[in-house]
Structure 1
Amino acid sequence: MSAHTIPLNEAGGVLTIDHAALAANYQELQRRVAPAACAAVVKGDGYGIGLTSAATTLWQAGARSFFVALLAEARTLRDLLPDAEIFVLNGLFPGTEAVYQERDLRPVLGSTTEIAHWQAFCERTGEALPAALHVDTGINRLGLTPAEAVHVAEGRDELGFPLALLMSHLACADEPDHPLNARQLEDFRAIVALFPGVRASLSNSAGTVGDPAYHFDLVRPGIAVYGGRPRADVAPLRPVVRLELRIARIRHVHEGETVGYGGAHTAIRPSRVAILSAGYADGIPRLAGASDLRPGAEAVVAGHRCPLIGRISMDLLAVDITELAEDAVQPGDFTTLLGDGLTLDNLARHSHTIDYEILTSLGRRYHRRPA
């Protein structure tokens, strides 16, 4: 599972991926959480930058434990990294047990039904295969209830397979003062005490960059490794992606004319508008656009920040370049949507979303290249 790329002269945009920054971010987080270990989360096609390239870089940077969401991702990862410890977060789907055995993968079991299926498979094959145990402490998605976890702990001697990891997931770690954080920490500590000798993991990115009390034995940062901002009060690490979009046309718009679908933006002066060859099919949110009632995101054009105007369409967006010199840019030139001071956080805030969605949505129509 690797990111597809297309030739530069055929692409509406260029996505540049800085693997040195990715490695440096991972190593910086590992330094911060020591003596805890730092895993690498590479789900969502390596947070949009490509599972194969992301995992290779992170392995070379020192990561040895990896987390993916789905078994298909784990298969690809195992082919790439034969010695890695690989956990599959979204649970044990029926009939997939043999794949975990054949590929030496670790299912993250989050229900009594999944535990029963894994026990039965281990008994049937005569092999005690390691698995992780997920306990819900307040996010109410996957995971055993605390009461179910107590029951598992009481019968641990008869479980029939070793526990490779005990984990839970923070719901509000991006809000460090949220009372649910303390409650989840207290509940997880109580559960960890029931499973002596089993590694414990609670922290996502926001937990990783916060209070060491949340680190336990293994942290699982995702967006922070890829240069996103996991918490408003913590500066992001090095940016990993740069996105440049090609100018398809420059047109003159008369005062009073509108730009884009719905006539949402009205020119208040004679304007020059650069039409860029990318849109929401390329992962640029529609809400990044602008209207007469609200500003949108920005692009850097010839070294200057210029506002996006009108609605983002499937394949195109518009930028007001009236303030630039007439000969500053021409069709075929590139503008910057991420980079040159424009961060994932900037684009996410203008789009009323989060860094994660921006990064993982970047489409497959870009020419992708290393920094």
Structure 2
Amino acid sequence: MSDSREGLLTIDLQAIGENYLDLCDRLASGSRCGAVVKADAYGLGMAQVAPALHRRGCRDFFVATQAEGESLRRALGDAVNIVVLTGVRDGAELECARAGLVPTLFTLQQLRNWVAICAREKLAAPCAVKVDSGMTRLGMTPEEFEQLLADPELLRAANIQLLLSHLACADEPQHPLNEIQLRSFKRAGERLRAQCPEVLLSLANSSGIFLGEEYHFDIARPGSALYGVNPVPGSRNPMRAVVELSLPIVQKRHVSGDQQVGYGATQSIAAGSWLAVARGGYADGILRAQSGRGCGWGGGRRLPMVGRVSMDSTTFDISALSAAERDTLDSIEVLNRELTVDEVAEYAGTIGYEILTSLGNRYFRRYLRS
């Protein structure tokens, strides 16, 4: 029997799998769908999520760190491709190659180091190269990429499996940078393939898939959409909801006179109101930025958060419930199909990614499988 005294986080693995298949169906012919499972599958548990995606046919996985890649390799075995998006640490190249991981390399020097170590150890280990197409974050600069193209010996030795870049504004379909990045990446891919015909190309993230087939290339790499975050903000979310989070109520109280609630006395509550204090606060991913703005769900309706979110508790106004409903209420949901990840993110002034990756480790986690 599950123990939900510290909160119950329900993660629907079947919904994640269905979201994956939905994204596969949206891709251009000849494109395949990978999955980004970095940050412990966006906080939902890579050890559970990745096998569920593998059962649905996913064979290309993207992680952030070498440690994540090694953990995933142990979980899924050798029959998958695992790309480390933030590269390889200096001095850890041999470990990375022996683990069968594909590091994403951002500079010529990183690529030269990789080639030298693989040659020394007689390893034909593949790598990925990232180019900066306009986000100005990670990736070879145009100048470095030109130097790479001008070095056929390095290209022959490098065993480049994948060329990738990252879209900065994919969730804003009309943003002009999308088209600029598309043209830049397409040109880079054509020029690299002129010398390395087997290289695969990857540009589209979750929102990038919805920009159109020209963005899909060989491999799309969705992340947040798999976990229920809306990849097309401002439009109906095409993805299935994945998470529900229920917090146990530890106290209900009747307010006999006008009172101020919580740290800083930032919010007042009228006499005659009813409050419920739930276990779960900003240490558990109930972001403090929701204070006075967010809500929970109970008795079939939204229940406003009152006062500041504390480290371990959050207070809700349950005055709208009937006496019978208050008596039977023993928990308040702060994520569900009605109170979505994207809505909660709006209350907190952030994005769904942060809501998911902030979920704490004190919850009892329940995984729903098909």
Q: TM-score, normalised by structure 1?
A: 0.94
User: 5+ unaligned residues in a row in structure 2: which ranges?
Assistant: none
Matches of residues 4-83 of structure 1 in structure 2 within 5 Å?
Answer: 8-9=2-3, 11-35=5-29, 36-82=31-77, 83=79
* Residue aligning to 2:290: 288
* Residue aligning to 1:353: 350
Q: Which amino acid aligns with 1:29?
A: L
For the pair 1:118 / 2:114, whether they are aligned, the reply is yes
Deviation per residue, 1:146-171 (Å, 9 max, x gap)? 22112212223433121110000001
Which has the higher mean CA deviation after the structures are superposed, 323-332 or 92-101? 323-332
Q: Which amino acid aligns with 1:276?
A: A
Matches of residues 239-278 of structure 1 in structure 2 within 5 Å?
Answer: 239-278=241-280
RMSD: 1.5
- 2-side partners of 1:14 and 1:158: how far apart? 53
In the TM superposition, what is the alpha-carbon distance from 1:240 to its structure 2 partner? Answer: 0.8
Identity of aligned residues (%): 41
CA contact (8 A) 1:40 1:67 kept: yes
* Residue aligning to 1:307: 304
Q: 1:258 to 1:8 in 2, by over 3 A?
A: farther
2:137 aligned counterpart, secondary structure: coil
* Residue aligning to 1:139: 135
For the pair 1:223 / 2:224, whether they are aligned, the reply is yes
In the TM superposition, what is the alpha-carbon distance from 1:123 to its structure 2 partner? Answer: 1.9
In the TM superposition, what is the alpha-carbon distance from 1:129 to its structure 2 partner? Answer: 1.5
- 1-side partners of 2:2 and 2:290: how far apart? 25
In the TM superposition, what is the alpha-carbon distance from 1:213 to its structure 2 partner? Answer: 1.2
* Residue aligning to 1:318: 315
Q: 1:20 to 1:192 in 2, by over 3 A?
A: same
Any runs of at least 4 consecutive aligned residues in structure 1 with deviations exceeding 6 A, and if so which?
none
Q: 1:127 to 1:299 in 2, by over 3 A?
A: same
- 1-side partners of 2:219 and 2:354: how far apart? 25
CA contact (8 A) 1:254 1:267 kept: no
CA contact (8 A) 1:150 1:194 kept: no
Aligned residue pairs total: 360
Q: Which amino acid aligns with 1:26?
A: Y
Q: Which amino acid aligns with 1:154?
A: A
* Residue aligning to 1:334: 331
In the TM superposition, what is the alpha-carbon distance from 1:37 to its structure 2 partner? Answer: 0.6
In the TM superposition, what is the alpha-carbon distance from 1:47 to its structure 2 partner? Answer: 0.8
* Residue aligning to 2:92: 96
Deviation per residue, 1:73-123 (Å, 9 max, x gap)? 000000011111000011121111111221111000011221121011022
- 1-side partners of 2:94 and 2:225: how far apart? 34
